[in-house]
Structure formats: C-alpha cells, structure tokens
Amino acid sequence: MMQQPQPGMAPPPPPQAAGGQPPQWGGIPPPMQPQYGAPPPQQPQPPAMWGQPPPQAQYGQAPPPQQYYAAPQAPAPAAPASSDEVRTLWIGDLQYWMDENYISNCFLPTGELQSVKLIRDKTSGQLQGYGFVEFTSRAAAERVLQTYNGQMMPNVELTYRLNWASAGEKRDDTPDYTIFVGDLAADVTDYLLQETFRVHYPSVKGAKVVTDKLTMRSKGYGFVKFGDPAEQARAMTEMNGMLCSSRPMRIGPAASRKTTGVQERGCQRALSV
C-alpha cells in the first residue's frame, strides 16, 4: 500500500536560477556562467595584444623623424662648405685707381666683409682691373651677388661686375700663362672678355682690356690669363678669329712683362701684324 506524502515531506521545488534569471537545465547553467563570464576576463587580453603595438609604434615612429629631418639636413652639409672659394666673389671691370680701400668701402656696409684682394702685375705692380672679395659666409656672398651685381658703384659711372670666384682663384699663387687678344670691339669689357674664354677653358684666371687712362676708352686689345698651359696653347689656335661681341679676335702670345711700356708696345706691334 502506497504511502501518501505527508504535509511536511513535499518534494523540493526545482532549482531556480539565482538572481531572477530564467530557469536553466538541471545544474548545467552554473558551470556555464563562468564560461560566458570568462570573456570579460579575456577582454584585457586584447589590450595586452594591442599593448605590443605601442613598442612597434614607437619603433615605427622613429624612422619618420629620421626621414623628415634627414631631408632638410641634406642641404645643410652643402651650406657649411665654408672654403675660401665658395664665399669669395670675383669683381672685374675695375678702373686703375680703384684700390683695396675703395673696394672695401663699397662692401663695408654689409657688415660681412672678410677681405679684399686685387690682382696686380707681378712685375710692374700695377692693378689688373679685377680681384676677389671674401665674405664671412657663402650666404653673405650670395646676398651681395644678388643685391650689388649690376648696380652703380659709388662716385663713378660704372656698375658692379660680380661673379662667383672659381676654385683656387683667390690665392693666385700659381704661374700665369697669358695670351694677347687684339681687334676687340669698343664695347668689350673685362668681364665679357673673361667669360668668352672661360666657357671653353675652366682654368681662365682673369682678363683685362687695356684702356686709355685719360679717356677711359678701350684701346682695342687686352690679355687673358690661364692657369693651365695646355689650355693656353689650345686657346691660341681655337679662339683665333672667333667673335667677341661684334668682331673676330686676333690671338697672339703676350709680350714679356719687363715694363708696362714695353708690354704695350709689344701688344701694339702684335696688332699691326
């Protein structure tokens, strides 16, 4: 005979989900909750994985500064190339009375003048009508070249004739190899004569058109100095008959420089040949 359940022995109710959650299947949900709850603790792992990129980002950030700074610094080494040649200007078409004091006073207002050297005949000591002006930096020389070149010189109806000095010109301690140039047009200046030869012969050190000291007009001849005897010899044949301004040049050997008078008479004899 089956016993009837007594009032105090009612079977226990099915387990309820804690916290008012819907009922879950027997006993499995409690262990499942840690599995669903596991991702939140695993969420810090992505930051841990992403936390490795910062060192990569720092490593990756290092090259950009090197790339950005390396580009501006590339021209910087070119600027500090502070040799005498790159901060020195050639000045030409000077009159016989323009000495170092006059040229210095022309550039003293810049506040960046370093030195002035005018070229003289090694025998007679007379000025050759050109020289070199050195400044404290290449930037200073470039500013002067841009602002002075072609402008009027003080107390005279002449303009500044400036250009970059070629390597080694300022020292000018090397031997001179000079040629005579005749039949020059009246408008040929020292600068024009020099550049006519310099474009073909890099060793050209300077040029001088001889002028009358009273009228300051060209006498129709001049001289070109070379630093390389081979280029001097080539110019004697290659440039003979070539145009300078509007007239063909007559090239010949320069007379010996015993005295200025002897030199000019020798040049005049060459013109009459």
> Tell me, what's the pLDDT at 256?
60
Over 60: is that where the pLDDT of 264 sits?
no
Quick one: average pLDDT of 222-250? 93
Reduce the DSSP state of residue 178 to 3 states and report it.
strand
Structure tokens at 205: 């050190």
Q: What is the mean pLDDT of residues 106-117?
A: 93
Region of poorest pLDDT, from 95-99, 116-120, 255-259: 255-259
Q: Using CA atoms, how far apart are residues 72 and 79, in angstroms rounded to an integer?
A: 12
What is the average pLDDT value for the chain, to the nearest integer? 72
End-to-end CA distance of the chain: 162
- Quote the pLDDT of residue 28: 52
Q: Within 10 Å of residue 80's Cβ, how many Cβ atoms? A: 9
| Fold that domain 174-273 belongs to in CATH | Alpha-Beta Plaits (3.30.70)
Q: Is 174-273 the same fold as 81-173?
A: yes
Q: Which helix (H) or strand (E) holds 191?
A: helix 190-198
User: E strand or H helix at 221, and its extent?
Assistant: strand 218-226
Pick the more confident residue, 51 or 29. 29
Residue 77 scores a pLDDT above 60: no
0.75 surpassed by pTM: no
pLDDT tens digits, one per residue of 189-202: 888 998 999 999 98
Give the CATH fold of the 81-173 domain.
Alpha-Beta Plaits (3.30.70)
Map out the domains of the chain as residue ranges. Answer: 81-173, 174-273
- Asked if residue 129 lies in contact with residue 218, where contact means CB atoms within 8 angstroms, the answer is no
